[in-house]
């Protein structure tokens, strides 16, 4: 075979099959409740669109930017992050590298850190690309499981047990895709204490959904409790979710300079830099305007979360419910649902894909199988649909799940 073993070893996207089915049915005119989306279904704020339009008139918007991104935007991102998190980055010791989406930031950071055989701790459920990216750089994932009934918050003892002399990094994603929760402040305090014992362990803190939090308390971070930990932290964020700009592909990492230099080096030999037009529009844009834009989104997420709770309660499924608080998602664990009996009988294999297909075929609701997130017998549901169709979809879904097999 002429393809590299590296590529042959990569997992195929499990969303492909369901997306193909959704597209086929929608194009044939049939109504489908598509709850697979990982993005907001509308355009960014008018003020940001105006910033983009203004920058269309400048030659610099069409030319290369420095590999790490424009200096002015990098400083602005560092300053805004410090302000939002109420922290101070030690002067001159940290930098920011802008990339083509936070996905590329994470990929570059892993490349900067991992030697073949190094271990990376990944908490399940995880964002779909972490394990594959670790694998691409020759690293090995050690998985630490979290459970639905602990609100998908992993036990710190389990994390500590997973650490070995080969562990290079841990990826922490709070708020979490796919669980739709953020880890509580007590967890972050405990995690900060744990990290003090492991000064060589790097934390990749994926904070892409930090502003997408619709029930108090807001997300907090371990380094806010002990700022010295910033020296072993890489903060990853981007504009995809909070600016509703997944297609403009801008993400960033903030880290001690020895890491950002290595990240910029990888970038300089691969993709150069993200697009100059969007970088310049971001330089020009007042980030504080985002709050007005995002408030209605949070209101909708709150309403959807409440609908979900009521539907679960009304169908006797409260024991399968947990409170979502952030990001756009809920991870439904099928394993204690009445309908599950008919799936579990034969063997203990993960039935996520089978169940998601049955749900789609029988009630027209599309979900992403939990296989993608390393959580068996589950599915991720997006809560970005408008209220009325979301409520209809929930009636169908909860009706399906509450039914005992005959």
Q: Which residues bind ligand PLP (CB under 6 A)?
A: 38, 101-103, 127, 173, 177, 206, 208, 238, 240, 246, 251
Q: Are 343 and 354 in contact (CB under 8 A)?
A: yes
**276-284 and 71-85 helices, crossing angle to 10°:** 50
Strand order through the sheet with 119-124: 94-99, 251-256, 233-238, 202-206, 167-173, 119-124, 140-145
Closer residue to ligand PLP (CB): 102 or 260: 102
Q: Are 370 and 379 in contact (CB under 8 A)?
A: yes
Q: How far is the CB of 121 from ligand PLP (least distance, A)?
A: 16
Closer residue to ligand PLP (CB): 151 or 177: 177
Task: For residue 144, list its beta bridge partners.
Answer: 123
Helix (H) or strand (E) holding 136: helix 129-136
Q: Are 242 and 212 in contact (CB under 8 A)?
A: yes
Q: How far is the CB of 86 from ligand PLP (least distance, A)?
A: 23
Distances (CA, A) of 236 to 96, 107, 115, 253, 282: 10, 11, 21, 4, 17
Distance between the two ends of the chain, CA-based, in angstroms?
48
Closer residue to ligand PLP (CB): 15 or 260: 15
């Amino acid at each position: 075979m002429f393809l590299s073993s590296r590529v042959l070893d990569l997992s195929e996207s499990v969303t492909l099959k369901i997306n193909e089915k959704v597209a086929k049915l929608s194009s044939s005119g049939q109504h489908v409740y598509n709850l697979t989306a990982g993005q907001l279904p509308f355009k960014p704020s008018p003020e940001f669109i105006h910033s983009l339009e203004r920058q269309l008139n400048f030659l610099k918007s069409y030319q290369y930017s420095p590999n790490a991104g424009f200096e002015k935007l990098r400083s602005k991102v560092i300053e805004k992050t410090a302000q939002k998190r109420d922290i101070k980055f030690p002067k001159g010791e940290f930098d920011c590298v802008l990339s083509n989406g936070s996905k590329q930031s994470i990929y570059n950071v892993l490349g900067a850190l991992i030697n073949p055989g190094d271990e990376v701790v990944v908490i399940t459920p995880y964002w779909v690309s972490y394990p594959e990216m670790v694998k691409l750089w020759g690293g090995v994932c050690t998985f630490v499981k979290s459970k639905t009934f602990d609100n998908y918050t992993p036990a710190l003892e389990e994390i500590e047990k997973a650490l070995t002399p080969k562990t290079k990094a841990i990826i922490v994603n709070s708020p979490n895709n796919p669980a739709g929760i953020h880890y509580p402040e007590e967890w972050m305090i405990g995690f900060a204490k744990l990290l003090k014992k492991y000064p060589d362990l790097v934390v990749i803190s994926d904070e892409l959904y930090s502003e997408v939090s619709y029930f108090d308390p807001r997300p907090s971070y371990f380094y806010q409790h002990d700022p010295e930990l910033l020296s072993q932290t890489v903060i990853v964020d981007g504009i995809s979710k909070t600016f509703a700009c997944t297609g403009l592909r801008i993400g960033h990492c903030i880290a001690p300079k020895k890491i950002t230099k290595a990240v910029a080096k990888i970038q300089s030999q691969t993709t150069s830099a993200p697009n100059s037009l969007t970088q310049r529009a971001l330089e020009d844009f007042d980030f504080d305007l985002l709050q007005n834009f995002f408030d209605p989104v949070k209101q909708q997420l709150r309403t959807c979360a409440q609908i979900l709770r009521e539907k679960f309660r009304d169908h006797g499924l409260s024991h399968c419910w947990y409170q979502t608080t952030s990001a756009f998602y809920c991870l439904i664990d099928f394993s204690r649902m009445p309908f599950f009996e008919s799936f579990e009988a034969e063997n203990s294999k993960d039935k996520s894909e089978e169940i998601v297909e049955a749900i789609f075929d029988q009630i027209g609701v599309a979900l992403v199988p939990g296989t993608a997130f390393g959580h068996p017998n589950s599915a991720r549901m997006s809560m970005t649909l408008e209220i009325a169709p979301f409520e209809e979809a929930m009636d169908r879904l909860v009706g399906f799940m509450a039914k005992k097999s005959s």
